[in-house]
Amino acid sequence: MDMDCFYAAVEVLDDPALRGQPVIVGADPQGGKGRGVVSAASYEARKFGVHSAMPVSRAFALCPKGIFLPGRMGRYSEISDKIMGILKGFTPQIEQISVDEAFLDLTGCQRLFGGPLEIARKIKGAIKGQLSLTASVGMGSNKLVAKIASDLEKPDGLVIVPEGGERDFLSPMPAGKLWGVGPKTTERLKQMGVITIGQLAGFDPKRLEAVFGRMGDYLHERANGIDGDPVSQGDQVKSMGREHTYDEDTGSKEDIHRTLLSLSEQVAASLRAEGVKGRTITLKLRYQDFETHTYGRTLEASVDNAIEINAIARMLFDKNWQTFRKIRLIGVSASNLNQGEDQLGLFDDPKNKIKNEELDKAVDKIRGRYGRKAVKRAGEM
């Protein structure tokens, strides 16, 4: 299950006046000097050639009349939780792989919900009926086939690949459609005369192994529609992070400290929205020459509070920043996630903990309704 233009669709849901307009979620193309990237684009914007991960400067050049909006991760996470709740009404076997995408193992669900086509329609109908959003569904005997099928008829798509038809389904598609086949691998395969997945499926596996090593066996199996990876309910989200690209490279410690606080706020809000906490906090620094470094610290107790996350991020920055070099990009992330309650320290005040949790919930609620800029910490000003 893959939601259609999720971020942009949520913006239209909250402001129906945007319906039919080229909505682009990302940085301000003028105020931010075009340094950010597009997070999502509505189908109206895609007609102009705009797509996710594109620099906003390029998006603005392609679609100058587009409606550029800042992202609201708190709101997207809130809707995501509702979507996942709907999916859990069909099966407990769910592997969420992003805020708007998940695998469902529907083995044994036919007695409750009918055959594959009927189940798929019910899933799509439940999401649309309860949230007024459209989802595309791909169904197959394994995750590889289901994922590729979900992308074929967007938006509001529904593609079912019958068991035994995996190879025929994949055969005419370009090799780059397979997971793990990026531009470099695609080019290498092209040099070997392999353009389609079908050609890859029929290629000598020993020659693939000679060229790609262990990856060769993986490529041959996937090209033949073989994927034994189960739908996993393990740590569904590995980490949560936010990054900021400066309009101009900066060497101002005060500016960077303000950015760290803002990023820590956003990471903390995302953790709370998912109902998880992180034990490992990581700082990412990209200098003006694009050289990138990461630094991490694992804590005794997991956290979802901005002040605690910011304290670690700021410490890592102060300790590792090469002061003679300007910063282009900075990021903060939390990983090693868990949903358990951590025991209070010997000298921790439970009243303060409750007070901070209530404050966080209140701020999250305000920002979810009015946007992140509605409430700011003084340290961000």
**What integer is the mean pLDDT of 51-79?**
90
Tokens of residue 212, six digits:
């790609």
pLDDT the model gives residue 354 = 66
What is the end-to-end Cα distance of the chain in Å, rounded?
40
Catalytic residue, chosen from 44, 78, 95, 101, is: 101
**What integer is the mean pLDDT of 264-280?**
87
Adjacent-strand bridge partners of 3:
135
Tokens of residue 23, six digits:
């909505």
Residue-wise pLDDT for 170-226, tens only, equals 999 999 998 778 888 899 999 999 999 999 999 988 888 889 887 888 898 899 998
Same-domain check for residues 288 and 348: yes
- 3-class SS at 317? helix
* Among 223, 248, 265, residue at a domain's last position: 223
Look at strands 135-139 and 2-3 and give their pairing: antiparallel
C-alpha span between 117 and 107 (Å, rounded): 14
Tokens of residue 175, six digits:
């090799």
Same-domain check for residues 284 and 363: yes
Look at strands 158-160 and 135-139 and give their pairing: parallel
Look at strands 94-98 and 101-104 and give their pairing: antiparallel
Confirm if 283 and 277 have CB atoms less than 8 A apart. no
> Where residue 275 falls among pLDDT bands split at 50, 70, 90?
confident
* Among 42, 71, 100, residue at a domain's last position: 71
Is residue 290 situated within a structural domain? yes
pLDDT the model gives residue 345 = 47
Residue 19 reports pLDDT greater than 80: yes
Is residue 231 situated within a structural domain? no
pLDDT the model gives residue 32 = 53
| Maximum CA extent, the chain | 67
> Where residue 344 falls among pLDDT bands split at 50, 70, 90?
very low
pLDDT the model gives residue 346 = 45
pLDDT, averaged across the chain: 87
Same-domain check for residues 139 and 120: yes
CATH code (residue 197): 1.10.150.20
Residue-wise pLDDT for 165-176, tens only, equals 999 999 999 999
Look at strands 67-69 and 23-26 and give their pairing: parallel
Same-domain check for residues 162 and 264: no
Size of the chain, expressed as the number of residues it contains: 381
Is residue 315 situated within a structural domain? yes
**Which DSSP state fits 255?**
H
Q: Which helix (H) or strand (E) element contains residue 33?
A: none
**Which DSSP state fits 298?**
E
Same-domain check for residues 266 and 180: no
Least confident of 47-56, 184-193, 281-290, 312-321: 281-290
Residue 124 reports pLDDT greater than 60: yes
* Among 19, 51, 71, residue at a domain's last position: 71
pLDDT the model gives residue 297 = 86
Least confident of 12-16, 162-166, 186-190, 294-298: 294-298
Is residue 229 situated within a structural domain? no
C-alpha span between 331 and 294 (Å, rounded): 9
pTM of the full structure: 0.63
* Domain around 10: 2-71
Is residue 103 situated within a structural domain? yes
214-223 and 205-212 are packed helices; what angle lies between their axes, rounded to 10 degrees?
140
Backbone region of residue 54 per phi and psi (left: phi > 0; alpha: psi in -120 to 50; beta: other values) = beta
- Assess whether 101 carries a catalytic annotation: yes
pLDDT the model gives residue 235 = 47
CATH code (residue 7): 3.40.1170.60
Same-domain check for residues 258 and 316: yes
Backbone phi, then psi, for 137, in 5-degree steps? Answer: -125, 135
Same-domain check for residues 14 and 65: yes
357 vs 242: which has the higher pLDDT: 242
Residue matched to tokens 């490279």: 249
Q: What percent of the chain has pLDDT over 90?
A: 49
CATH code (residue 315): 3.30.1490.100
Is residue 228 situated within a structural domain? no
CATH code (residue 107): 3.30.70.270
Same-domain check for residues 84 and 128: yes
The answer to whether the peptide bond before residue 155 is cis (omega within 30 degrees of 0) is yes
Is residue 230 situated within a structural domain? no
Same-domain check for residues 84 and 67: no
Residue-wise pLDDT for 86-123, tens only, equals 999 999 889 888 889 999 999 888 888 998 899 999 99
Nearest in space to 306 (alpha carbons), one of 263, 242, 244, 354:
263
Same-domain check for residues 218 and 126: no
> Where residue 309 falls among pLDDT bands split at 50, 70, 90?
very high
pLDDT the model gives residue 154 = 92
313 vs 98: which has the higher pLDDT: 313
**What integer is the mean pLDDT of 301-329?**
91
Same-domain check for residues 258 and 159: no
C-alpha span between 299 and 282 (Å, rounded): 11
Residue 357 reports pLDDT greater than 90: no
Same-domain check for residues 265 and 356: yes
Is residue 94 situated within a structural domain? yes
Residue 140 reports pLDDT greater than 50: yes
Q: How far is CA 168 from CA 124, 173, 366, in A?
A: 26, 10, 51
Counting the structural domains of the chain, the total is 4
